[in-house]
Amino acid sequence: MAGFRQKKISLGQTLPDKLRKARLEKEISLEEAQEATKIQAKYLEILEGGDYQSLPGEIYAKAWIKIYAKFLDLEIGELLNDYKLEKIVNDRVSKMDKPAQLKKPSRFNVLGPRILKVFGISIVVLFLLGYLGWEVKNIIAAPPITIYEPPNNFKTSESRVLIKGQTEVEVQLTINNEIVLPDENGNFSQEINLVNGLNNLEISAKKKHSKTKNLELIILREDLE
């Protein structure tokens, strides 16, 4: 990209318009941009769509805008100002679009003996059905994953990070598609190599007949050089 000059942005365009237009003019696909910037294509698409509420946090939004602007040879300061103004407008519009919830007045009904009897039988039937449903759900439900450290959106300057957490026993656990073996209590720890910038770690857990539980852990490695 060293052969490109920093491009002046025309007025009247939104931040998403500027990013998308600059990328298309350079004939770069989202996948190629992902490879060059190490930002997932889905987040680049969100930036180009202006759906800022779908981003994991403002610190990452600003970091991605800086990286993406530099990659596209755009003025970083101007894009950050655009983001700040557009996010304020989007937040206000989002609040205005939410309808006010009206509270329903509470009503107390006087129940007769016959209605109480039917109500009691219904409660017993519902309890039994609920118990059976709970048993089935317990078999097919995705196993829980608890990450003790590091916290999500963690920032570090180290090249490696130790992931510690807990899940259920007899669970097939993977971190970025690498198998991790929990101990007899479901505890696990795994050291992961980090690249400079944002690291998106995919953590998955699955039992024999269960659904798969997926977690995303975002870690920002800062280059101190």
Structural tokens at position 60? 């990452």
pLDDT tens digit string along 17-26? 999 999 999 8
Q: Which of 45-54, 66-75, 128-137 is predicted least confidently?
A: 128-137
Spatial CB neighbours of 34, under 8 Å, sequence gap ≥ 6: 40, 41, 44
Superfamily of domain 15-96: lambda repressor-like DNA-binding domains (1.10.260.40)
Please give the CATH number for the structural domain made up of 146-221.
2.60.40.10
Query: Domain spans of the chain?
Result: 15-96, 146-221
pLDDT tens digit string along 84-136? 888 888 778 777 765 555 555 454 455 567 787 787 888 888 888 887 776 66
Q: Cα–Cα distances in Å, from 156 out to 19, 159, 170, 216, 224?
A: 28, 8, 32, 17, 10
